């Protein structure tokens, strides 16, 4: 028997706005665990025996190498899409943090190699080295190639699916090779508490790979959907309706959130790939999920050959771009560009079905009237809302008898429909990156607080963090972790040498400069 929108909405009663204090506590706990994973091994390594102060630079190099290894290991955890990790921050923030910390780890390992090469020029000048040192070279070369390809993947025209697979395999190789190199090349790895801590972090990295590639795909089989229909909404935009497969579970999500969809399409010319798309349907709709996909890339240009009956694996939900995740009774001002309408279609449908007492203004930018997805639906939702939802279309290339707004959305137009009052309103933006950046800048210059601006990105891989303050906080957190890491490396070197010894001859040992050493064949 069909479920009414009201009944479906009541079934999601648990989807109340999340308590900010609870989310904050979870975020602080996760950050504390991350910092402990980076700094803990350095603290344990400091408990080893004291060496002459002349080895201060070497100890700095060893500390940087250990820090870089821990950053590489924890990157697997950040990239595993654990819901308990992504939910407090948002997946976009976690992935951006993952990329930034990967660069930090890469720089730490390069400095590790540079300082050791300064002490032992043979690391640079000799072609063949003892194998435990050669492993270090191999790790650096692999990591350098991985970073370069990741940053310039688009320019190098590397297929995304191939890149993602090789990225993880190369990352695993770097982790194994670097750990083996560190274990055999330096005696400061000897204390068993240090080895145990490092093993635990690396074991968590391996578990994250097993989870994301073996366990999670099997779990997601229970969230297999079946393509119900494939329809072209307008030129270049397809509407895909999905229904739960036989015996499958339905995804529980909040309006405006996104998920990863892996199309298992039939036919030799129908490639199957995983992509992140906003769920355009609302949880209040009882008939499965609906996607609106624009032809933008190699895979999406083939979306039209998807057939009813094809299976789709759904992994989600993710994202914090939902009015249900942000408390308040402000008027909602939605600003959309093109296919950026999808999260707003979901939220507006929820608001209408639930008859929520929230006023909504949608400013929707497109080129022409023939390029407006959901034109009739949006008009119907506006009529059914009893005046709570107002839709304003803005066309940059208006033709014929168009009587609506023309040109582009600017601050004057926003103020016009907000009645020159931008206070008491929360602004939500989704569209192409240049469109989104322009809207954010205009609103900030107009005095709108960053906490009142939320934005969603088209591409998760290169997604800017939302403008609601999380981007600023993420930069501050990254900088604080880097400073703490550098201070810990310095402290580790000071403790390991006899600089801090009360009667140590530190000045005598150090004033002659660093001691250069010949390469040794065996472990040191």
- The domains of the chain, with CATH numbers, are 21-219+472-511 (no CATH), 220-318 (2.40.30.10), 329-465 (3.40.50.80)
Query: Which residue(s) pair with 261 in the sheet?
Result: 275, 314
Q: Is pLDDT larger for residue 172 or for residue 328? A: 172
pLDDT digits (tens, 9 = 90+) for 144-203: 998 998 888 878 888 777 788 888 889 899 999 988 888 787 665 667 888 889 889 999
pLDDT digits (tens, 9 = 90+) for 265-318: 766 555 567 888 999 999 998 878 999 999 887 778 888 888 899 889 999 899
CA–CA distances in Å: residue 297 to residues 30, 61, 236, 477: 35, 44, 11, 34
Task: Please state the rounded mean pLDDT for residues 320-334.
Answer: 88
pLDDT at 361: 96
Tell if the pTM clears 0.85, that is, is over it: no
Look at residues 112, 32, 43, 44 and name the one whose alpha carbon lies nearest to residue 72.
Answer: 112
What's the mean pLDDT when you consider all of the chain?
84
Task: Please state the rounded mean pLDDT for residues 350-368.
Answer: 92
Q: How many CB atoms sit inside 10 A of residue 30's CB?
A: 17
Q: Measured between alpha carbons, how far is 426 from 160 in angstroms, rounded to an integer?
A: 35
Q: How many CB atoms sit inside 10 A of residue 397's CB?
A: 12
The answer to whether the CB of 27 falls within 8 A of the CB of 89 is yes
């Amino acid at each position: 028997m069909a479920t009414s929108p009201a009944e479906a909405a009541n079934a999601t009663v648990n989807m109340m706005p999340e308590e900010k204090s609870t989310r904050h506590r979870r975020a602080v706990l996760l950050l504390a665990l991350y910092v402990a994973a980076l700094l803990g091994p350095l603290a344990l390594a400091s408990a080893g025996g004291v060496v002459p102060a002349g080895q201060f630079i070497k100890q700095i190099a060893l500390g940087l190498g250990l820090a870089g290894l821990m950053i590489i290991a924890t990157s697997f955890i950040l990239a595993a899409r654990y819901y308990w990790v992504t939910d407090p921050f948002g997946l976009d923030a976690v992935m951006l943090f993952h990329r930034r910390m990967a660069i930090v780890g890469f720089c730490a390992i390069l400095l590790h190699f540079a300082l050791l090469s300064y002490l032992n020029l043979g690391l640079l000048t000799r072609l063949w080295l003892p194998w435990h040192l050669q492993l270090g070279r191999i790790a650096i070369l692999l990591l350098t190639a991985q970073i370069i390809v990741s940053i310039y993947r688009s320019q190098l025209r590397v297929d995304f699916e191939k890149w993602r697979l090789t990225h993880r395999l190369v990352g695993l190789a770097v982790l194994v090779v670097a750990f083996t190199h560190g274990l055999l090349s330096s005696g400061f790895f000897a204390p068993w508490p240090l080895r145990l801590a490092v093993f635990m972090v690396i074991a968590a990295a391996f578990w994250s790979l097993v989870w994301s590639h073996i366990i999670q795909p099997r779990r997601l089989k229970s969230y297999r959907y079946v393509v119900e229909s494939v329809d072209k909404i307008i030129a270049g935009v397809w509407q895909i309706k999905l229904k739960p497969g036989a015996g499958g579970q339905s995804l529980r999500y909040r309006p405006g959130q996104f998920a990863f969809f892996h199309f298992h399409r039939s036919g030799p010319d129908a490639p199957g790939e995983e992509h992140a798309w906003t769920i355009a349907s609302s949880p209040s709709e009882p008939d499965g999920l609906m996607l609106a996909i624009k032809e933008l890339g190699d895979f999406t240009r083939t979306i039209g050959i998807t057939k009813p009956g094809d299976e789709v694996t759904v992994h989600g939900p993710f994202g914090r771009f939902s009015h249900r995740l942000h408390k308040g009774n402000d008027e909602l001002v939605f600003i959309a560009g093109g296919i950026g309408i999808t999260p707003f279609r979901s939220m507006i449908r929820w608001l209408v079905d639930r008859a929520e007492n929230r006023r909504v203004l949608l400013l929707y930018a497109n080129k022409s009237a023939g390029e407006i997805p959901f034109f009739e639906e949006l008009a119907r939702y506006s009529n059914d809302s009893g005046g709570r939802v107002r839709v304003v279309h803005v066309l940059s290339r208006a033709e014929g008898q168009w009587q609506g707004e023309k040109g582009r959305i600017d601050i004057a137009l926003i103020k016009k429909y907000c009645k020159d009052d931008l206070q008491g309103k929360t602004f939500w933006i989704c569209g192409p990156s240049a469109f989104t950046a322009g809207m954010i800048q205009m609103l900030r210059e107009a005095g709108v607080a960053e906490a009142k601006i939320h934005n969603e990105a088209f591409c998760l891989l290169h997604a800017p963090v939302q403008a609601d303050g999380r981007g600023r906080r993420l930069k501050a957190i990254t900088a604080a972790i880097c400073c703490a890491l550098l201070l810990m490396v310095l402290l580790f070197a000071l403790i390991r040498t006899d600089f801090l010894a009360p009667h140590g001859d530190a000045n005598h040992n150090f004033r002659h400069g660093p001691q250069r050493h010949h390469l040794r064949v065996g472990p040191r």
